[in-house]
Structure 1
Amino acid sequence: MNDVTLGADVSAERLASLKQLTMVTYILYALSAFVGLTAIVAIIINYVKREETAGTIYESHFTWQIRTFWFSLLWAVVGFVTLVVGVGFVVLAADSIWVIYRIVKGFLNWNDGKPMPVKA
Protein backbone atom coordinates (compact mmCIF):
# COMPACT_ATOMS: atom_id res chain seq x y z
CA MET A 1 0.00 0.00 0.00
CA ASN A 2 1.27 3.40 -0.87
CA ASP A 3 0.13 6.18 1.46
CA VAL A 4 0.83 9.44 -0.31
CA THR A 5 0.91 12.72 1.58
CA LEU A 6 0.49 16.15 0.13
CA GLY A 7 2.46 17.81 2.92
CA ALA A 8 6.12 16.92 3.33
CA ASP A 9 6.09 17.74 7.06
CA VAL A 10 3.88 14.78 8.03
CA SER A 11 5.90 12.04 9.73
CA ALA A 12 5.46 8.38 8.90
CA GLU A 13 4.36 7.77 12.49
CA ARG A 14 1.71 10.51 12.30
CA LEU A 15 0.49 9.18 8.95
CA ALA A 16 0.16 5.66 10.42
CA SER A 17 -1.83 7.09 13.31
CA LEU A 18 -4.18 8.94 10.94
CA LYS A 19 -4.59 5.79 8.85
CA GLN A 20 -5.62 3.83 11.92
CA LEU A 21 -8.00 6.57 13.06
CA THR A 22 -9.61 6.65 9.62
CA MET A 23 -10.16 2.88 9.82
CA VAL A 24 -11.72 3.25 13.27
CA THR A 25 -14.17 5.86 11.98
CA TYR A 26 -15.17 3.64 9.05
CA ILE A 27 -15.81 0.80 11.51
CA LEU A 28 -17.85 3.10 13.75
CA TYR A 29 -19.98 4.17 10.78
CA ALA A 30 -20.47 0.54 9.76
CA LEU A 31 -21.47 -0.42 13.30
CA SER A 32 -24.05 2.37 13.33
CA ALA A 33 -26.39 0.07 11.38
CA PHE A 34 -26.66 -1.93 14.61
CA VAL A 35 -25.85 0.69 17.25
CA GLY A 36 -26.81 4.13 15.95
CA LEU A 37 -24.75 6.02 18.52
CA THR A 38 -21.48 4.91 16.95
CA ALA A 39 -22.13 7.27 14.02
CA ILE A 40 -22.35 10.15 16.50
CA VAL A 41 -18.98 9.13 17.96
CA ALA A 42 -17.52 8.88 14.43
CA ILE A 43 -18.75 12.32 13.32
CA ILE A 44 -17.34 13.89 16.48
CA ILE A 45 -13.97 12.24 15.77
CA ASN A 46 -14.17 13.50 12.17
CA TYR A 47 -14.64 17.10 13.27
CA VAL A 48 -12.18 17.02 16.19
CA LYS A 49 -9.36 15.41 14.16
CA ARG A 50 -10.15 16.88 10.74
CA GLU A 51 -7.51 19.60 10.99
CA GLU A 52 -4.81 17.01 11.69
CA THR A 53 -5.61 15.22 8.43
CA ALA A 54 -4.99 18.34 6.32
CA GLY A 55 -2.52 17.67 3.55
CA THR A 56 -2.85 13.88 3.70
CA ILE A 57 -4.99 11.39 1.83
CA TYR A 58 -7.00 10.98 5.02
CA GLU A 59 -8.34 14.49 4.67
CA SER A 60 -10.39 13.28 1.70
CA HIS A 61 -11.60 10.27 3.70
CA PHE A 62 -12.74 12.49 6.57
CA THR A 63 -14.57 14.78 4.13
CA TRP A 64 -16.17 11.68 2.55
CA GLN A 65 -17.29 10.42 5.96
CA ILE A 66 -18.66 13.79 7.04
CA ARG A 67 -20.66 14.17 3.83
CA THR A 68 -21.94 10.62 4.15
CA PHE A 69 -23.16 11.32 7.69
CA TRP A 70 -24.97 14.57 6.93
CA PHE A 71 -26.57 13.47 3.65
CA SER A 72 -27.62 10.18 5.22
CA LEU A 73 -29.19 12.04 8.13
CA LEU A 74 -31.01 14.37 5.71
CA TRP A 75 -32.43 11.45 3.71
CA ALA A 76 -33.35 9.56 6.89
CA VAL A 77 -35.38 12.56 8.05
CA VAL A 78 -37.05 12.83 4.64
CA GLY A 79 -37.72 9.08 4.75
CA PHE A 80 -39.32 9.21 8.18
CA VAL A 81 -41.42 12.25 7.28
CA THR A 82 -42.68 10.58 4.11
CA LEU A 83 -43.54 7.29 5.84
CA VAL A 84 -47.04 8.69 6.23
CA VAL A 85 -47.57 8.76 2.46
CA GLY A 86 -45.90 5.39 1.92
CA VAL A 87 -42.82 6.63 0.08
CA GLY A 88 -40.67 6.72 3.20
CA PHE A 89 -39.78 3.03 3.08
CA VAL A 90 -38.28 3.46 -0.38
CA VAL A 91 -36.36 6.57 0.69
CA LEU A 92 -35.04 4.83 3.81
CA ALA A 93 -34.04 1.73 1.83
CA ALA A 94 -32.24 3.83 -0.78
CA ASP A 95 -30.51 5.79 1.99
CA SER A 96 -29.34 2.58 3.64
CA ILE A 97 -27.97 1.16 0.38
CA TRP A 98 -26.21 4.45 -0.38
CA VAL A 99 -24.58 4.52 3.08
CA ILE A 100 -23.39 0.92 2.69
CA TYR A 101 -21.91 1.82 -0.70
CA ARG A 102 -20.13 4.88 0.75
CA ILE A 103 -18.68 2.93 3.67
CA VAL A 104 -17.50 0.05 1.46
CA LYS A 105 -16.02 2.35 -1.21
CA GLY A 106 -14.28 4.44 1.44
CA PHE A 107 -12.89 1.43 3.25
CA LEU A 108 -11.62 -0.12 0.00
CA ASN A 109 -9.88 3.12 -1.00
CA TRP A 110 -8.47 3.39 2.53
CA ASN A 111 -7.17 -0.19 2.28
CA ASP A 112 -5.52 0.57 -1.08
CA GLY A 113 -3.95 3.80 0.22
CA LYS A 114 -6.02 5.94 -2.16
CA PRO A 115 -7.75 9.24 -1.44
CA MET A 116 -11.48 9.65 -1.97
CA PRO A 117 -12.85 11.62 -4.91
CA VAL A 118 -13.03 15.33 -4.09
CA LYS A 119 -16.40 16.02 -5.70
CA ALA A 120 -18.26 12.99 -4.31
Structure 2
Amino acid sequence: MSDRDIIDVPGRDAAQMEGLKAWGWVSYLLHLVVAVAAVVPSAQPSIVLLLIALVIDLVKRDEARGTWQESHFSWRIRSVAWAGILYVVTLPLWLLFFVPGWIAWSLISIWFLYRIVRGMVAMNAHRAVMD
Protein backbone atom coordinates (compact mmCIF):
# COMPACT_ATOMS: atom_id res chain seq x y z
CA MET A 1 0.00 0.00 0.00
CA SER A 2 1.45 3.35 -0.99
CA ASP A 3 0.99 6.68 0.74
CA ARG A 4 -1.56 7.69 -1.89
CA ASP A 5 -3.75 4.62 -1.29
CA ILE A 6 -4.97 5.82 2.10
CA ILE A 7 -5.46 9.56 1.59
CA ASP A 8 -9.16 9.57 0.67
CA VAL A 9 -11.42 7.80 3.12
CA PRO A 10 -15.15 7.71 2.40
CA GLY A 11 -17.21 9.35 5.11
CA ARG A 12 -14.44 11.69 6.25
CA ASP A 13 -15.07 15.33 5.60
CA ALA A 14 -12.37 17.95 5.12
CA ALA A 15 -13.06 19.54 8.52
CA GLN A 16 -12.53 16.24 10.34
CA MET A 17 -9.27 15.64 8.45
CA GLU A 18 -8.03 19.16 9.23
CA GLY A 19 -8.96 18.66 12.89
CA LEU A 20 -6.89 15.49 13.01
CA LYS A 21 -4.02 17.29 11.36
CA ALA A 22 -4.24 20.12 13.91
CA TRP A 23 -4.12 17.60 16.79
CA GLY A 24 -1.18 15.93 15.08
CA TRP A 25 0.70 19.24 14.95
CA VAL A 26 -0.05 19.93 18.61
CA SER A 27 1.35 16.52 19.51
CA TYR A 28 4.43 16.95 17.28
CA LEU A 29 5.16 20.37 18.80
CA LEU A 30 4.90 19.00 22.36
CA HIS A 31 7.19 16.11 21.39
CA LEU A 32 9.58 18.56 19.74
CA VAL A 33 9.85 20.68 22.89
CA VAL A 34 10.67 17.58 24.91
CA ALA A 35 13.09 16.22 22.28
CA VAL A 36 15.02 19.48 21.89
CA ALA A 37 15.22 19.96 25.64
CA ALA A 38 16.53 16.40 26.02
CA VAL A 39 19.41 17.16 23.65
CA VAL A 40 20.30 20.60 25.08
CA PRO A 41 22.55 20.33 28.14
CA SER A 42 20.90 21.31 31.44
CA ALA A 43 17.45 21.77 29.86
CA GLN A 44 14.80 19.88 31.76
CA PRO A 45 11.74 19.08 29.70
CA SER A 46 8.60 18.33 31.56
CA ILE A 47 7.45 14.73 31.46
CA VAL A 48 3.96 16.23 31.66
CA LEU A 49 4.32 17.62 28.11
CA LEU A 50 5.29 14.20 26.84
CA LEU A 51 2.38 12.55 28.64
CA ILE A 52 -0.08 15.11 27.24
CA ALA A 53 1.20 14.42 23.73
CA LEU A 54 1.02 10.66 24.30
CA VAL A 55 -2.59 10.89 25.52
CA ILE A 56 -3.52 12.97 22.45
CA ASP A 57 -1.98 10.32 20.21
CA LEU A 58 -3.68 7.43 21.99
CA VAL A 59 -7.09 9.12 21.95
CA LYS A 60 -6.98 10.39 18.36
CA ARG A 61 -5.33 7.37 16.69
CA ASP A 62 -8.64 5.51 16.24
CA GLU A 63 -10.22 8.61 14.71
CA ALA A 64 -7.39 8.69 12.14
CA ARG A 65 -7.68 5.00 11.28
CA GLY A 66 -7.55 4.43 7.52
CA THR A 67 -6.05 7.82 6.71
CA TRP A 68 -2.48 8.87 5.99
CA GLN A 69 -2.50 10.53 9.40
CA GLU A 70 -2.92 7.22 11.24
CA SER A 71 0.74 6.45 10.63
CA HIS A 72 1.75 9.67 12.40
CA PHE A 73 -0.18 8.86 15.57
CA SER A 74 1.34 5.36 15.64
CA TRP A 75 4.81 6.77 14.80
CA ARG A 76 4.74 9.11 17.80
CA ILE A 77 3.42 6.41 20.15
CA ARG A 78 6.16 3.99 19.04
CA SER A 79 8.81 6.71 19.33
CA VAL A 80 7.86 7.43 22.95
CA ALA A 81 7.58 3.73 23.81
CA TRP A 82 11.00 2.85 22.37
CA ALA A 83 12.69 5.89 23.87
CA GLY A 84 11.19 5.04 27.26
CA ILE A 85 12.37 1.43 27.02
CA LEU A 86 15.86 2.50 25.94
CA TYR A 87 16.12 5.05 28.77
CA VAL A 88 15.10 2.43 31.34
CA VAL A 89 17.46 -0.21 29.94
CA THR A 90 20.40 2.22 30.00
CA LEU A 91 19.58 3.64 33.45
CA PRO A 92 22.11 1.34 35.18
CA LEU A 93 24.86 3.02 33.13
CA TRP A 94 24.01 6.30 34.85
CA LEU A 95 24.00 4.68 38.23
CA LEU A 96 27.28 2.81 37.76
CA PHE A 97 29.25 4.92 35.32
CA PHE A 98 28.38 8.52 34.53
CA VAL A 99 30.04 8.90 31.11
CA PRO A 100 28.58 5.79 29.41
CA GLY A 101 25.15 6.72 30.79
CA TRP A 102 25.45 10.25 29.46
CA ILE A 103 26.55 8.96 26.04
CA ALA A 104 23.71 6.42 25.87
CA TRP A 105 21.05 8.93 26.88
CA SER A 106 22.45 11.53 24.48
CA LEU A 107 22.21 9.05 21.60
CA ILE A 108 18.66 8.08 22.57
CA SER A 109 17.68 11.76 22.78
CA ILE A 110 19.17 12.51 19.35
CA TRP A 111 17.37 9.48 17.88
CA PHE A 112 14.09 10.67 19.42
CA LEU A 113 14.60 14.19 18.03
CA TYR A 114 15.33 12.70 14.59
CA ARG A 115 12.09 10.68 14.70
CA ILE A 116 10.03 13.74 15.62
CA VAL A 117 11.58 15.93 12.92
CA ARG A 118 11.22 13.16 10.33
CA GLY A 119 7.54 12.82 11.22
CA MET A 120 7.00 16.57 11.05
CA VAL A 121 8.54 16.72 7.57
CA ALA A 122 6.24 13.93 6.36
CA MET A 123 3.20 15.57 8.00
CA ASN A 124 4.01 18.87 6.32
CA ALA A 125 4.10 17.06 2.96
CA HIS A 126 0.75 15.34 3.73
CA ARG A 127 2.43 11.94 3.59
CA ALA A 128 2.26 8.92 5.81
CA VAL A 129 5.43 8.28 7.78
CA MET A 130 6.88 4.80 7.38
CA ASP A 131 9.49 2.89 9.38
Q: What is the TM-score of this pair, normalised by structure 2?
A: 0.82
**Aligned CA-pair RMSD:** 1.6
Q: AA paired with 1:25?
A: S
Q: Distance in 2 between matches of 1:82 and 1:58?
A: 37
CA offsets per residue over residues 44-82 of structure 1, 9 Å max, x none? 111111110101111000010000000011111123222
Structure 2 unaligned residues grouped into runs of 5+: 38-44
Residue deviations 1:4-58, cap 9 Å, x none? 6242221111000001110000011112233221110011111111110101111
Larger radius of gyration: 2
Moved more, 5-14 or 59-68: 5-14
* Aligned residue pair count: 116
- Supply the distance in 1 between the matched residues of 2:56 and 2:23 (Cα, whole angstroms): 9
Q: What is the match of residue 124 of structure 2?
A: 111
Contact 1:78 1:88 in 2 (8 A): no
Q: Matched residues, percent identical?
A: 29
Shift of residue 87, structure 1, vs aligned partner: 2.2
**Which of the residues 17, 20, 24 maps onto 1:18?**
20
Q: What amino acid is the match of 2:48?
A: L
Which one-letter code corresponds to 2:115 in the other structure? R
Structure 1: unaligned runs, 5 residues or longer: none
Hey, what's the Cα distance between the residues in 2 that align with 1:7 and 1:55? Answer: 7
The secondary structure found in structure 1 opposite 2:21 is: helix
Counterpart of 1:31 in structure 2 is 33
Q: Give, in whole Å, the separation in 2 of the partners of 1:18 and 1:107.
A: 14
Distance 1:82 1:60 in 2: 33
**Distance of 1:90 and 1:21 partners within structure 2:** 33
Q: Secondary structure at the match of 2:69?
A: helix
8 Å CA contact 1:43–1:66 kept in 2: the answer is: yes
In structure 2, distance between residues paired with 1:49 and 1:96: 25
